Amino acid sequence: MGADGAGGVGGAELEAALARLAELRASIDNVDAAVVFLLAERFKFTQQVGHLKADAGLPPADLEREAEQIARLHRLADESGLDPVFAEKLLGFIIAEVIRHHEAIADSR
Amino acid sequence: MGADGAGGVGGAELEAALARLAELRASIDNVDAAVVFLLAERFKFTQQVGHLKADAGLPPADLEREAEQIARLHRLADESGLDPVFAEKLLGFIIAEVIRHHEAIADSR
């Protein structure tokens, strides 16, 4: 069963699959915790960048820096086996949040 | 200058700000590399989950699991100082990608 395309397994085979699924999910949860703590540190750095830019009168967004980050991320994604298109979308998502933070800092001056 | 709200600094003060900006960006780049490599591992785990689910005839999405992940992420975000709303949006973004992968695996059977 399972490789016959009949759309499911039962009994002991299903039990083994569910046990393996629980193991994989525990590993995914560990990775997610690491990513959350890393991103918390990342936002601490970008908050510092936001204050520094506001103090120095520099604009919140920096297209040249973003282009460098995207190019670097493509290289790292290739190296690590992550889909570069996904990596770029993810960075865009994070940068959009960072720019919102920077604008809020600049607006509060 | 800088704290006077006049919208900018010049000379040595600007130079110091740009040097500090470069330092912070180097730290951000290090965090980003760590996140990319972690997410590459995460997708290896979720690819295994995808194959396992397709073999066992389990559906690609699992709303109960997602609800548990979101609740856990809120706790971790609180603990780490990350904005929980951002953490949840980010997880949603990653899970959407994972489900696309799982559907592609299921469709290829």
Candidate from B21, B40, B48 with C-beta closest to A80 = B40
d(C-alpha B84, C-alpha A56), whole Å: 30
Nearest CA in chain B to A97: B86
Residue type at position B50? G
Cβ of residue A47 closer than 8 Å to a chain B Cβ: no
CA distance B13 to B64: 54
Q: Is B55 within 8 Å of chain A by CB?
A: yes
Provide the pLDDT for residue B7.
59
Q: Which CATH number fits domain A11-107: 3.40.50.2300, 1.20.1440.230, 1.20.59.10, 3.90.180.10?
A: 1.20.59.10
What's A10's DSSP letter?
Answer: -
What's the whole-number mean pLDDT along residues A80-90?
A: 92
Contact yes or no for B109 and A40 at CB 8 A:
no
- Note whether B47 contacts A: Cβ–Cβ < 8 A: no
* A45 near B CB under 8 A: yes
Q: What is the mean pLDDT of residues A79-106?
A: 89
Cα→Cα distances B96→A31, B47, B65, B90, Å: 17, 13, 14, 10
Tokens for A19, please give them. 């046990």
pLDDT of the residue at A25: 97
For the packed helices B84-107 and A84-107, what is the interaxial angle rounded to 10 degrees?
160
Q: Which residues of B touch A80 (CB under 8 A)?
A: 36-37, 39-40
Contact between chains at B80 and A36 (C-beta distance less than 8 A)? yes
pLDDT over 90 (residue A10): no
Which residues does chain B have with pLDDT short of 70?
A: 1-7
Residues 6+ apart with CB under 8 A from B9: A55, A56, A57, B1, B2, B17
Q: Within 10 Å of residue A11's Cβ, how many Cβ atoms?
A: 8
- Predicted local distance difference test score (pLDDT) of residue B91: 87
CA distance B43 to B49: 9
Question: What's the confidence (pLDDT) of residue A7?
Answer: 59
In the three-class reduction of DSSP (H, G, I as helix; E, B as strand; rest coil), residue B1 is classed as coil
Shortest Cα distance, chain B CAs vs residue A51, angstroms: 10
User: How far is Cα A98 from Cα A70, in angstroms, rounded to an integer?
Assistant: 15
> What is the reported pLDDT for A2?
41
Q: How far is B31 from chain A (nearest CA, A)?
A: 6
Which tens digits make up the pLDDT trace of A16-40? Answer: 999 999 999 999 999 999 999 999 9
- Would the pLDDT of A3 be above 50? no
Q: Residue B64 class from Cβ within 10 Å (0-12 exposed, 13-18 middle, 19+ buried)?
A: exposed
- pLDDT, residue B5, reads 45
Residues A74 and A70: their CA atoms lie apart, in Å, by 6
Which residue out of B32, B43, B88 would a mutagenesis test of the A interface target, given it has the greatest number of A Cβ atoms within 10 Å? B32
State whether residue A19 sits within 8 Å of chain B by CB: no
B76 and A24 within 8 Å at the Cβ level: the answer is no
Spans of all domains in chain A:
11-107
Rounded distance between C-alpha atoms, residue A56 and residue A53, angstroms: 5
